[in-house]
């Protein structure tokens, strides 16, 4: 090859220093998902194009973003663009799965977008979904779980924007938006962040009356706690009661960071009820989700309730403080003409649960210390003949510079105690 090969457009490598931190973040998210009783499900990255391209799933716009291709046998396939459609497929084809089915997945998805700063074609989603519960208790549980995940990651400022598609439908009807224009209207509202209120007004006017446009614009200005908002909107008592209940469940599960926001529409077409989005004040949402009552039915013929949320890993990573770990190693053993004895010490440290690396190149002490510094390994351990005779080794704390002569057992105790 004439030049150093690159990654495929829109994809990137994660070197250890980033990957270690990503794994830590994923580990914390997984921990919270499991605390909430969600179990992991893994599905293949390839799906048939037919499965992924249902019109009522994703909207025409988004179908353009499918990473699709033909395989060697001419099959139309695509790399999945979310983890929700594969979940729906699994539920449809495993009818005996006990319900409720609470599943999480933290895995790769692909979208054939124009790569931009911080936006890749291959990225990770972290999903929790509850299948088989119609009650808004499930939506509250989902939000509570996502909220705890953010808290555990140390993200302090965030707000769940919540809305209801049912409520919006009624509000739009009451503003005299015709039935066949409701979805179109919601799609325009969904662009509010991008095109602003004036842009929305302009687009709405192309297919709604001036009065309807005004009604819609007034409605989507409303953001507040539900109690205050409830009295201001025109909607049926039934729908209001459903939302009352949802809010009660949110409170009972201890979720405090939320606001009812009538401008929240959510782009995906498969949402049918409550929708939610996480605003951390960083210009784009950290994730979102909602209730999708029709998606599984599309594959199975059987109506099955479902709700869920997605956290975007890359967006989370962007706002988290970076870690300074560059390697998994906690200690680096430097033999000074003592390879055989040093290897025994390496074995002992590893058996003691300490992540241990050692000099395999017979380098000088200063070169070894260079390496340890570059790799940010917290401790160096010198194994010299004289000290060995006394049953000791020299432990150097690379941060403080402190050196101690200790037995190997004491080294293990000391490093384990730090954890």
Residue ranges in 131-150 that form contacts with a copy of itself under rule CB under 8 A = 132-133, 135, 137-138, 141, 148
Q: Of 152, 299, 320, 394, which one interacts with a copy of itself (CB under 8 A)?
A: 299
| C-beta of 43 vs 230, nearer to a copy of itself | 43
Residue 118 has which token pair? 């911080």
Q: In what order do the strands lie in the sheet with 67-70?
A: 46-48, 76-79, 67-70
Per CB under 8 A, contacts with a copy of itself among 362-391 are 362, 371, 374-375
Q: Of 28, 62, 63, 108, which one interacts with a copy of itself (CB under 8 A)?
A: 108
Least Å from the CB of residue 395 to a copy of itself: 16
Per CB under 8 A, contacts with a copy of itself among 51-90 are 51, 54, 67-73, 75, 77, 86, 89-90
| C-beta of 174 vs 327, nearer to a copy of itself | 327
What ranges in 64-191 are assigned the alpha helix state H? 84-93, 137-152, 165-174, 182-189
Q: Of 41, 162, 286, 345, which one interacts with a copy of itself (CB under 8 A)?
A: 41
Q: DSSP 3-state assignment of 69?
A: strand
Q: Say how far apart CA 349 and CA 343 lie, in whole Å.
A: 10
* Phi, psi for residue 106 in degrees, rounded to 5: -125, 105
| C-beta of 253 vs 259, nearer to a copy of itself | 253
The answer to whether 393 touches 405, Cβ cutoff 8 Å, is yes
Per CB under 8 A, contacts with a copy of itself among 251-290 are 252-254
Q: What is the DSSP letter of 96?
A: T
Respond yes or no on whether the N-terminal peptide bond of residue 300 is cis (omega within 30° of 0): no
Residue 344 has which token pair? 């025994």
**Beta strand spans in 195-302 (E):** 223-224, 258-261, 274-279, 287-291
The answer to whether 62 touches 304, Cβ cutoff 8 Å, is no
Least Å from the CB of residue 329 to a copy of itself: 4
Q: Is 45 in the site for a copy of itself (CB under 8 A)?
A: yes
| C-beta of 236 vs 355, nearer to a copy of itself | 355
Q: Is 209 in the site for a copy of itself (CB under 8 A)?
A: no
Select from 28-36, 169-177, 222-230, 232-240 the region that touches a copy of itself (CB under 8 A). 28-36
Q: Say how far apart CA 174 and CA 325 lie, in whole Å.
A: 57
Per CB under 8 A, contacts with a copy of itself among 218-257 are 249, 252-254
Q: Say how far apart CA 355 and CA 346 lie, in whole Å.
A: 9
Taking residues 110 to 129 in sequence order and writing x for each that binds a copy of itself by CB under 8 A, - otherwise, the string is: --x---------x-------
Interface with a copy of itself: number of residues (CB under 8 A):
98
* Phi, psi for residue 65 in degrees, rounded to 5: -90, 5
Select from 7-15, 150-158, 256-264, 391-399 the region that touches a copy of itself (CB under 8 A). 7-15
Q: Is 397 in the site for a copy of itself (CB under 8 A)?
A: no
Please give the span between the terminal C-alpha atoms of the chain, in angstroms, as a whole number. 46
Residue 311 has which token pair? 């956290």
Of 137, 84, 66, nearest to 269 by C-alpha is 84
Q: Of 38, 246, 260, 270, which one interacts with a copy of itself (CB under 8 A)?
A: 38
Q: Between the CA of residue 366 and those of 358, 362, 378, 380, 383, what are the distances in Å?
A: 14, 12, 16, 12, 14
Q: Say how far apart CA 12 and CA 22 lie, in whole Å.
A: 14
Select from 38-46, 183-191, 225-233, 384-392 the region that touches a copy of itself (CB under 8 A). 38-46
Q: Of 25, 29, 47, 82, which one interacts with a copy of itself (CB under 8 A)?
A: 47
Per CB under 8 A, contacts with a copy of itself among 309-348 are 326-329, 332, 339-340, 343-344, 346-347
Q: What is the DSSP letter of 397?
A: E
Least Å from the CB of residue 305 to a copy of itself: 10
| C-beta of 154 vs 353, nearer to a copy of itself | 353
| C-beta of 40 vs 196, nearer to a copy of itself | 40
The answer to whether 334 touches 370, Cβ cutoff 8 Å, is no
């Amino acid at each position: 090859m004439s030049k150093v090969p690159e990654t495929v457009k829109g994809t990137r490598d994660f070197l250890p220093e980033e990957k270690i931190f990503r794994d830590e973040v994923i580990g914390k998210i997984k921990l919270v998902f499991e605390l909430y009783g969600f179990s992991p499900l893994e599905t293949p990255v390839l799906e048939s194009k037919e499965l992924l391209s249902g019109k009522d799933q994703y909207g025409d716009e988004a179908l353009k973003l499918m990473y699709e291709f033909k395989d060697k046998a001419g099959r139309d396939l695509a790399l999945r663009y979310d983890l929700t459609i594969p979940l729906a497929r699994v539920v449809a084809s495993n009818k005996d799965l006990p319900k409720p089915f609470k599943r999480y997945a933290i895995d790769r998805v692909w979208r054939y977008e124009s790569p931009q700063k911080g936006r890749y074609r291959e990225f990770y989603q972290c999903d929790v979904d509850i299948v088989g519960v119609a009650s808004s208790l499930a939506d509250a549980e989902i939000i509570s779980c996502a909220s705890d995940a953010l808290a555990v990651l140390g993200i302090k400022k965030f707000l769940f924007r919540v809305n209801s598609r049912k409520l919006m439908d009624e509000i739009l009807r009451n503003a005299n938006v015709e039935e066949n224009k409701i979805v179109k209207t919601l799609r325009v509202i969904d662009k509010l962040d991008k095109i602003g209120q004036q842009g929305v007004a302009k687009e709405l006017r192309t297919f709604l009356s001036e009065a309807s446009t005004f009604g819609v614009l007034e409605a989507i200005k409303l953001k507040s706690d539900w109690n205050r908002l409830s009295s201001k909107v025109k909607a049926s008592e039934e729908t209001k009661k459903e939302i009352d209940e949802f809010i009660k469940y949110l409170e009972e599960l201890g979720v405090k960071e939320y606001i009812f926001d009538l401008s929240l529409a959510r782009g995906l077409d498969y949402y049918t009820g409550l929708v939610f989005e996480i605003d951390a004040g960083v210009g784009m949402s950290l994730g979102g989700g909602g209730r999708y009552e029709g998606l599984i039915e599309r594959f199975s013929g059987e109506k099955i309730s479902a709700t869920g949320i997605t956290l975007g890993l890359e967006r989370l990573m962007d706002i988290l403080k970076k870690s300074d770990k560059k390697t998994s190693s906690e200690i680096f053993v430097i033999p000074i003409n003592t390879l055989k004895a040093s290897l025994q010490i390496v074995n002992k440290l590893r058996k003691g649960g300490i992540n241990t690396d050692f000099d395999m190149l017979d380098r000088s002490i200063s070169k070894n210390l260079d390496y340890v510094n570059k790799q940010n390994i917290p401790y160096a351990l010198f194994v010299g003949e004289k000290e060995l005779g006394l049953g000791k080794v020299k432990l150097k704390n690379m941060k403080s510079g402190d050196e101690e002569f200790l037995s190997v057992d004491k080294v293990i105790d000391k490093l384990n105690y730090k954890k």
